[in-house]
Amino acid sequence: MDLENQARIKDLSDKYGKEDFIVVLGGAEAEASGLAAETVASGDPTFAGPLSGVSLGLKAYHIFELKEEIDAGVYDEQIGMMEMVLNVDEIIEEVKSYRK
Amino acid sequence: MNYPVVKGAAYGLIQANEMLIHYGTTQTSELRINKDSDHLKKLPAHLRSFEAAVKYPPNQAYIGNITPDDLKNIPRPWYENQISTVSRNGRFGEIMPEDEFLGLMKIVDIFDLVLLEEKFQAQVRDKLALHPVLAGINNFENLEKSAPELAQIEKMTAEHLALPLYFNGELVGCVKKAHEFDDALSAHVMLENLVSKASSVFALQLLLVKTDLDAKDIDYIIECSEEACGDMNQRGGGNFAKSVGEIGGCINATGSDTRSFCAGPAHALVEAAALVQAGVYKNVVVLAGGSTAKLGMNSKEHVKKGLPVLEDMLGAFAVHIGENDGINPVIRTDAVGRHRIGSGASPQAVMTAIVTDPLDSLGYKITDVNRYSPEMQNPEITEPAGAGDVPQANYKMIAALGVKRGEFSRDEIIQAVDSFGVPGFAPTQGHIPSGIPFIGHGREMILAGDIERAMIIGKGSLFLGRLTNLFDGISFLIEKNAGIIDDGLDKETVRKMIGEAMIEFAKTLQE
């Protein structure tokens, strides 16, 4: 996960607390999305960024999982094309596994 | 209307294992964080020989010995299915080993910053004197200059006055810093810039030798790499373009540099096309050299997964844009796709702006374009690093847009992708894969009548410069030449037209 994003998420959780705090991912691929979910849950597994050894315990959801929460027109305009292109089930399965 | 045409394209690759180890940023960052890094210990065992790099199918596609369609028929992994019958010389270009390239760096160095150990210098001089493209190049005499002994080079690098250059694990030279304390002229920056310049010169020479273009006929050069040259008062002042043209003997040319991260080359080609169409210049060359920083960028993942480190190639290209000759494929300057500042950042907004908006302006459907050439990264490099097959993802996005526009159904996506997709075959050198690698092949396919048109797409990640989060993308169509050269209206035609109009007008008065 991008080091800047790690720093941003760490700062936000320090500032606002971890309650009612979820991370929304837009990764295009299962492995990378899972890596990001793992990073915000239990720390940076690559030990490269600010979340190395920092277990925030945050829950990450891929944007595909939140379809029902989003206005259908906006979702179609912003995500509709990518939904056709990416392996949605595989990505959701992978990201979900880090919330267990 | 006379559109400008693509008159020729040349492509160069340089295998640079030692630069990968010592100057690829993945490795230099690792060294900074962890001197005892396992990655750095394991890396050398994963590097491949020059022979393996030559026989690697994507590299052969890049220099034009096989087509991208041939690549589709070679099973993956391509590194296990090398082509044994090929050579380093290709129809569009060449693959060069690192020792010869160090010699070329010395040739293009105007300020005596590159020092090569005397025996090594003599060896590469002898090799380059026989080189089909570089023998006789301007400044070749730099290789005749007196060269230092190894001890002198060791002393300079130990005292941090220069950065070492290696070949096959041995110290063979160095690049000196160009100023006592100016960071913009440090040995590191000079090394990167001289690599970029030397590889650009290589591509220009390939273009001059492999096509009919005469160096003296070049009016303008646009350089579009991702490096910056200048001193501390103008860090990106330029001008790579003229420095390259100087070595290439382009005595009638001027030039400048264009930048937009990976999208730079596509911008530069649109600019070149516009300059030619407007009649400002007759012959414009767009070129770029390679980047040391990106060598081995994903090598950690490659090493971890037991793969060869395939990001050992510096890439370079040169494309000649000229006036309409009635033969070569035209660039449709009336349908340039561009990601506008207000276009939005979602992939859908981006693809609409750079793919379907220009097609709509010409009344074309997505499938009217026979081949799309977006980010042509070799998937064998990006997949193990978790970035997937980048060109394939682009084709799927284009096909998905086709579904949303009702051009075909959702279950025809794969079929559409197969029909207009080109497998990625370019090294992951940022600006190098961005659309341009297909121009040589596309030009030949159009000339042979195999395809009617292709879309070249450049995309850039501007957030990397930390000045904006905007995305960047630009595209253009290259299309079969209608075979007509528009000479404009002669006096006789104008007289006839006026006469006809007056007769028509007189008729209306009679009525």
How many A×B Cβ pairs under 8 Å?
40
The region, left, alpha or beta by phi > 0 then psi within -120 to 50, assigned to residue B257 is beta
The reply to whether A7 touches chain B by the CB within 8 Å rule is no
- Assign domain B5-479 to its CATH architecture: 3-Layer(aba) Sandwich (3.40)
Q: What is the pLDDT of residue B487?
A: 80
Q: What is the pLDDT of residue B511?
A: 73
Whether B393 sits inside 8 A of A80 (CB atoms) is: no
Mean pLDDT of B175-192: 98
Q: Per-residue pLDDT for A2 more than 90? A: no
Residue in chain B lying closest to A36 (CA) = B386
Instruction: Tell me the pLDDT band of B134, cut-offs 50, 70 and 90.
Output: very high
Mean pLDDT of B258-270: 97
Phi, psi of A23 (to 5 degrees): -110, 125
Instruction: Tell me the pLDDT band of B508, cut-offs 50, 70 and 90.
Output: confident
Q: Per-residue pLDDT for B447 more than 90? A: yes
Q: What is the pLDDT of residue B509?
A: 84
Instruction: Tell me the pLDDT band of B327, cut-offs 50, 70 and 90.
Output: very high
Residue in chain B lying closest to A86 (CA) = B393
CA–CA dist B451, B443 (Å, integer) = 9
Give the number of other CB atoms < 10 A from CB of residue B155.
14
Mean pLDDT of A72-97: 94
Q: What is the pLDDT of residue B488?
A: 75
Q: Per-residue pLDDT for A1 more than 90? A: no
Token pair listed for B165? 């250059």
Residue in chain B lying closest to A33 (CA) = B386
Q: What is the pLDDT of residue B461?
A: 92
Find the range with the poorest average confidence among B48-52, B103-107, B341-345.
Answer: B341-345
Q: Per-residue pLDDT for A48 more than 90? A: no
Q: What is the pLDDT of residue B510?
A: 79
**Between the CA atoms of A29, A31, A37 and A39, what dihedral angle is there, to the nearest 10 degrees?**
-130
pLDDT digits (tens, 9 = 90+) for B276-311: 999 999 999 999 999 999 999 999 999 999 999 999
Q: Reduce the DSSP state of residue B59 to 3 states and report it.
A: helix
Within 39-68 of A, beta carbons closer than 8 Å to B belong to 48
Mean pLDDT of B220-233: 97
Residue in chain A lying closest to B397 (CA) = A85
Tally of domains within chain A:
1
Whether A29 sits inside 8 A of B396 (CB atoms) is: no
pLDDT digits (tens, 9 = 90+) for B6-25: 999 999 999 999 999 999 99
The reply to whether A93 touches chain B by the CB within 8 Å rule is no
Q: What is the pLDDT of residue A29?
A: 87
Q: Per-residue pLDDT for B1 more than 90? A: no
Average model confidence (pLDDT) across chain B: 96
Q: Which residue in A70, A81, A87 has the most chain B C-beta atoms within 10 A of its own C-beta, making it the best mutation to test that interface?
A: A81
pLDDT digits (tens, 9 = 90+) for B33-46: 988 999 999 999 99
Between residues B507 and A13, the one the model is more confident about: A13
Report chain A residues whose CB lies below 8 A from the CB of B403: 84
Instruction: Tell me the pLDDT band of B234, cut-offs 50, 70 and 90.
Output: very high
Among candidate residues B136, B58, B42, B47, the one with its CA nearest the CA of residue B98: B47
> Is it true that the peptide bond before B77 is cis, omega within 30 degrees of 0?
yes
Mean pLDDT of B219-244: 97
Whether A81 sits inside 8 A of B388 (CB atoms) is: no
> Is it true that the peptide bond before B328 is cis, omega within 30 degrees of 0?
no
Mean pLDDT of B263-286: 98
Instruction: Tell me the pLDDT band of B491, cut-offs 50, 70 and 90.
Output: confident
Q: Which domain holds residue A81?
A: 3-97
Q: Which residue in B30, B31, B348 has the most chain A C-beta atoms within 10 A of its own C-beta, making it the best mutation to test that interface?
A: B348
Whether A81 sits inside 8 A of B404 (CB atoms) is: yes
Q: What is the pLDDT of residue B221?
A: 98
CA–CA dist B394, B422 (Å, integer) = 10
> Is it true that the peptide bond before B239 is cis, omega within 30 degrees of 0?
yes
Mean pLDDT of B444-453: 98
Angle CA A89–A92–A93, to nearest 5: 80
Report chain B residues whose CB lies below 8 A from the CB of A50: none
Mean pLDDT of B460-479: 94
CA–CA dist B394, B388 (Å, integer) = 11
The reply to whether A79 touches chain B by the CB within 8 Å rule is yes
The DSSP element (H or E) to which A15 belongs, if any, is helix A3-16
